[in-house]
């Protein structure tokens, strides 16, 4: 079975994150086992990106969500390390600006969606509007409840216009999050990553788990699936994300476009 199927959330499928082992490592026993496989995937991704850019028929949107310290930055740094920045970019979504708040919640998302030939990586995304907004009651329940259907309609529109949407939930255990936050506190080179709000958010762990579970259940579709990635082991997290991306891009059956001239008639001077 391909990993795109093993980690994929079936549409409408009830998800209970507490029942999913965040420390699961599949067929790998340790980091050394996965290192070569990840390196191979990085090379394959670079070649597939080149095809994507040359063919210009598809765009790819990669969404990374997860609790604080789940490894969104690390996934980007390690998995995407071989990609050409000419046609790949990262967008992070923080608290909305005044201009963004003056529009619908998807306006700032659609504005930076990738074009054909591009790979766009979202570090957090439009799902913040059914996660943090829900947990902190930033808008009335009646408003955020309707956003699930709005998100599905938005993603359906993207996919119908040849954007491949891959959404990764980086699933860590609460104990692993604690260890990572403590590591940041202990390391002077990492303390800048920590904010007081991180510890307040940690107290809302169970509320966030419920919010994630509903988003996964309601917004994983055949065309814009969610993948739950066991992320307690960073090396498995990186390999699993890379494997899903490679399998998906290879499934597009991309080809280099034929030149609009006969190369055989060209004589170099």
| Phi and psi at residue 266, to the nearest 5° | -85, 125
The string of pLDDT tens digits covering residues 211-235 is: 999 999 999 999 999 999 999 999 9
Does domain 3-11+29-252 correspond to CATH entry 3.30.450.20?
no
Global pTM exceeds 0.75: yes
Q: What is the arithmetic mean of pLDDT over 118-142?
A: 97
Q: What is the arithmetic mean of pLDDT over 144-173?
A: 98
What per-residue confidence (pLDDT) applies to 24?
Answer: 97
Report the share of the chain in percent with pLDDT over 70. Answer: 100
Instruction: Grade residue 269 by pLDDT with cuts at 50, 70 and 90.
Output: confident
Q: Whats the size of the chain, residue-wise?
A: 269
The string of pLDDT tens digits covering residues 97-121 is: 999 999 999 999 999 999 999 999 9
Domain residue spans of the chain? 3-11+29-252
The string of pLDDT tens digits covering residues 176-203 is: 999 999 999 999 999 998 888 889 999 9
Instruction: List the one residue out of 243, 250, 242 whose CA is nearest residue 80.
Output: 242
> Is residue 3 pLDDT above 90, yes or no?
no
Instruction: List the one residue out of 137, 10, 122, 110 whose CA is nearest residue 66.
Output: 122
Instruction: List the one residue out of 72, 226, 218, 198 whose CA is nearest residue 144.
Output: 218
What per-residue confidence (pLDDT) applies to 194?
Answer: 87
| Phi and psi at residue 142, to the nearest 5° | -60, -30
What per-residue confidence (pLDDT) applies to 103?
Answer: 97
């Amino acid at each position: 079975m391909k990993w795109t199927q093993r980690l994929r959330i079936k549409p409408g499928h009830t998800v209970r994150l507490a029942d999913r082992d965040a420390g699961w490592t599949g067929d790998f026993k340790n980091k050394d086992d996965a290192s070569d496989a990840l390196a191979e995937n990085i090379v394959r991704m670079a070649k597939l990106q080149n095809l994507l850019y040359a063919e210009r028929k598809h765009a790819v949107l990669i969404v990374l969500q997860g609790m604080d310290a789940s490894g969104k930055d690390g996934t980007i740094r390690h998995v995407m390390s071989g990609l050409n920045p000419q046609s790949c970019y990262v967008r992070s979504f923080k608290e909305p600006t005044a201009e963004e708040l003056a529009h619908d919640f998807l306006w700032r998302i659609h504005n930076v969606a990738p074009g054909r030939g591009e790979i766009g990586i979202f570090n957090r995304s439009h799902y913040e509007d059914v996660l943090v907004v829900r947990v902190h009651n930033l808008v009335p329940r009646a408003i955020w409840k309707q956003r699930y259907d709005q998100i599905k309609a938005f993603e359906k529109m993207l996919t119908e216009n040849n954007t491949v949407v891959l959404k990764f939930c980086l699933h860590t255990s609460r104990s692993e999050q604690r260890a990572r936050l403590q590591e940041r506190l202990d390391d002077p080179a990492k303390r800048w990553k920590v904010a007081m709000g991180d510890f307040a958010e940690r107290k809302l762990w169970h509320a966030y788990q419920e919010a994630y579970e509903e988003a996964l259940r309601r917004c994983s579709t055949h065309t814009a699936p969610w993948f739950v990635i066991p992320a307690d082991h960073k090396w498995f997290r990186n390999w699993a994300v890379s494997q899903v991306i490679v399998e998906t891009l290879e499934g597009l059956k991309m080809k280099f476009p034929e030149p609009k001239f006969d190369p055989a008639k060209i004589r170099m001077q």
